[in-house]
Amino acid sequence: MKVHILVALLLRVRGASGGPARELTAREREWAAAMVVRSDNEAANALWRAAGGAEGVAAAGRLLGLSRTRPARDGRWGLTTTTAADQLALLCAVQGRGPRADVLAPADRRWVRELMRAVVPSQRWGVTAAADESGPEPAGAPGEVKNGWLPRTATGLWVINSVGRVTAAGRPWLLAVLSDGHASAQEGIAAVERAARAAVRALKDPRETPDPHQTPSRATGPGNAAEAEPAG
């Protein structure tokens, strides 16, 4: 959700999702860096409000074509519901690809991607495992990533999500993996990384996907939903 919140803020301050256009404040830029790079929840709370809360985030989702994303109405943005396909559409908009390529200004797209490349090392798990078959990102080629994790109060089971852009087999890929029902965060992270690698393998194999530019790959399992597509 934190990438979505930042994009919603950018669309709001540019006047694209309602209200007058204005400049980002220095404080908002600080919050954005903290929210994406360190996954700071207090910064996310502040930017959720600055983006217009649930209504502002939903308006941004409509502009981006996120048809199955429902922001939580009570301010608990971490309980927003979404799909892997919608998260892939969000990544495409950030990359300037697809039918919503022009929704975000080029400078805003570059800034979001810079923040995703700067995520702290301890939070660079997830879809980055698909960068090669052994798991870690290639040296000198940091991927763009943003992860989310949450233990559900009612069950104690973990929700683990990961979205981003990685390079594998000499080309870039966009990946979105959503996962839930895990006994521990470590178990969920391992499941997300397996799904990310499987999605990229499916697109790399011409027997699985004759035309990868037409059909994103899906890799599903218990509690997992993954989507991937070539990014270039």
The verdict on 134 and 230 lying in the same domain is yes
Which pLDDT score, from 0 to 100, does residue 19 have? Answer: 79
CA dist 146 and 118 (Å) reads: 10
211 compared with 141, residue with greater pLDDT: 141
Among candidate residues 124, 136, 161, the one with its CA nearest the CA of residue 38? 124
- Structural tokens at position 46: 């502040």
Q: Rounded mean pLDDT of 9-26?
A: 94
Q: What range defines the domain where residue 181 resides?
A: 119-232
Task: Please report which confidence band the pLDDT of residue 223 belongs to, taking 50, 70 and 90 as the band edges.
Answer: low
Question: What is residue 232's predicted lDDT score, i.e. its pLDDT?
Answer: 67
Task: Quote the number of domains for the chain.
Answer: 2
For strands 217-221 and 171-182, give the pairing. unpaired
The number of helices, as runs of H, and strands, as runs of E, in the chain is 7, 5
169 and 229 share one domain: yes
- 127 and 215 share one domain: yes
- pTM attached to this predicted model: 0.89
Domain boundary among 28, 61, 83: 83
